[in-house]
Structure 1
């Protein structure tokens, strides 16, 4: 919205600032963080009043959770969505077509997660929206976004899969690219959801990944930088840097209340939305494989669940003491802050690995 002030730059030189993507991205970070800080206390009080007993805790989960997390409200992802939504609408160029695909997935997945959290709280059970229904809604929203992104793409790259470490290698997937893009969005959404099991565990890796893709979006959206780094340019993708900045700002604001011991959980409201957001940004910027590297922590958590289920069904034995992986280390006696901080370190290392692909070609 504020981007429109740039047209008055000839009359007021101060308005020229709104031409610059870097300035508007910084504004989005600060705005989203401020919204989360302002909304957070009141939202938490309201959630406590309405939910009373807080988020239902798995009885088959780590024993300590029944003592330390009982009564903590969920649906804190609302403050993240408010921060991201307000900051993006305020600072981004609303004529950018990619922006609306990203908002569709983020807010749509957030609404789905909110419905899931609501059912869990009202029914006092850890099962919310049926899995098949949840998956069907995710696929439908992702399909709409994928078709829109392909339609807006350049002819040479709209259905191509770019591989890191290679200068010109693009695998042309044709219309198979659409289901592939849907898989990326849905997979990323559920991977973040599986990771969200300890105080602060999911939100920091999400912010780290958003920071990586904020830079990637800026670079591939800038023809000069893309050409210098031998990246595949995506005209218009730079505007998603504002959106990624909003995720970082809202995430910082949320972490203030989610830091151990958490005052509120993001719930599926936040985790499904943030995972889907990272997925669709990677699709727009043509860096889907880099998301798997940068978000490797989410991949690892998801693989641990798949391995655990497959092993138990095939052999009757469990590979891990409990899945997802962070619960395995809880069962081994690691303190929660130790697990969280070490996983943050892993996320930082993977982010550096993801960034290195921009130059190692």
Structure 2
């Protein structure tokens, strides 16, 4: 928002002219969010410990997790808080895509915060019920996608990786389809958040990939050259993405093994919703399956486990989500985390490779 005050002053002070460039504001947002999150994070963790806002550990989980009981949670508060501070300085609040992404992120932030509050402070291990959570998530997502469709922020055409032209126009059905992408992303990231630093690593790589794609889609010449859909103003999402990456780096400073703080649902639900919204706004709904491949694998492992147990009475994995399966196979926690990070990076590179394979 500070951008809206500083840029008009560039007529008298040419140095402020740099604020018109998305790339400069994105770099600045990253720096601000990183510094703020590292400085604020230390104090936030101390406050969480003082108030005894500790994580509740599932009894049926791996035995090694029992020692994590009581580790401060609500880490998503200082991730999103730091990112929002950076956005207030560098964000363009007249950009419709930017505002839509913020709307979904903030709504899911409050949902996750309520869930964590009930679990940690009210000692309600279930938190917000699954049905209530889905109602909140889909209501938010449907509002956001309806606005996108109704006001032509994006069109209702569907694109596939490796195909240069849209495969079909699904009309009003695009609203529930896009909402499903956003909700699915939110819940998939939430399932991934089970080990120290596991969720934030793929979040950073996925956000960086989506941010780059947003910048390309918002630049009409680059979009035309690469044969990708041009979405006006969507390049401003790079500022939001850079703020999230910076805040994520600061969070990882404290969340790396052994974690001093956990993300909590307040972080995982909101970050997942944000990534899903950016995928929709940039017309990468199907490519996001590859970009966020780790999240998809984690979610699918849970779906398969539940389906197998209900239909056959047998489990496919030792435990789901799948990162627990590898732990119970004997992999050290750090090995699971780093290998999942590597896979996430490979997925991101493959997703970017599709830009020229059309």
Q: TM-score, normalised by structure 2?
A: 0.97
CA distance in 2, matches of 1:73, 1:40: 11
Residue 244 (structure 2) pairs with residue 247 (structure 1): yes
Any conservation in 1 of the 2:107–2:140 contact (CA below 8 Å)?
Answer: yes
Partner of 1:138: 137
**1:263 match:** 260
Instruction: Give the whole-Å Cα distance in 2 for the aligned partners of 1:334 and 1:119.
Output: 33
Q: Matches of residues 51-200 of structure 1 in structure 2 within 5 Å? A: 51=52, 54-67=54-67, 69-153=68-152, 158-200=155-197
Q: How far apart, in 2, do the equivalents of 1:105 and 1:115 lie?
A: 16
TM-score (normalizing by structure 1):
0.97
Shift of 1:124: 3.0
Alignment deviations for residues 29-68 of structure 1 (CA, whole Å, 9 cap, x no partner): 111112211211111111112235x11100011111112x
- Unaligned stretches of 5+ in structure 2? none
Give the corresponding residue for 1:16. 17
Once the 2 structures are TM-superposed, how far is the Cα of residue 127 of structure 1 from its aligned partner? 1.2
RMSD: 1.1
Which of 228, 233, 242 is 2:230 aligned to? 233
Q: Find the residue that maps to 2:63 and give its secondary structure.
A: coil
More moved, 282-291 vs 116-125: 116-125
Q: Which runs of 5+ in 1 are unaligned?
A: none
Please say if residues 151 and 158 of structure 1, whose CA atoms lie closer than 8 Å, have aligned partners that are also in contact: no
- 1:73 Cα shift? 1.1
1:161–1:173 Cα contact (<8 Å) kept: yes
Q: In 1, are the aligned partners of 2:157 and 2:166 still within 8 Å (CA)?
A: no
> Between Structure 1 and Structure 2, how many residues are aligned?
357
Q: Which residue of 1 aligns with 2:318?
A: 321
1:89 CA drift (Å): 2.1
Flag as ranges the 4+ runs of structure 1 deviating above 4 A: none
What is the CA–CA distance in structure 1 between the aligned matches of 2:148 and 2:86, rounded to whole Å? 22
* Inter-partner Cα distance in structure 1 for 2:121 and 2:212: 41
Larger deviation: 180-189 or 123-132?
123-132
- Judge which range, 92-101 or 312-321, deviates more: 92-101
SS at match of 2:168: strand
In structure 2, C-alpha distance between the alignment counterparts of 1:88 and 1:359, rounded to whole Å: 32
Whole-Å separation in 1 of the counterparts to 2:258 and 2:101: 32
Task: Give the corresponding residue for 1:7.
Answer: 8
**Whole-angstrom CA distance in 2 between matches of 1:191 and 1:289:** 15
Given that 2:83 and 2:240 are in contact with CA atoms closer than 8 Å, whether structure 1 keeps it comes out as yes
CA shift for structure 1 position 126: 2.9
Paired with 1:295 and 1:247, the residues of 2 have a C-alpha distance of: 16
CA contact (8 A) 1:32 1:86 kept: yes
How many Å separate the matches in 2 of 1:224 and 1:152? 23
Query: What is the 5 A alignment of 1:286-325?
Result: 286-325=283-322
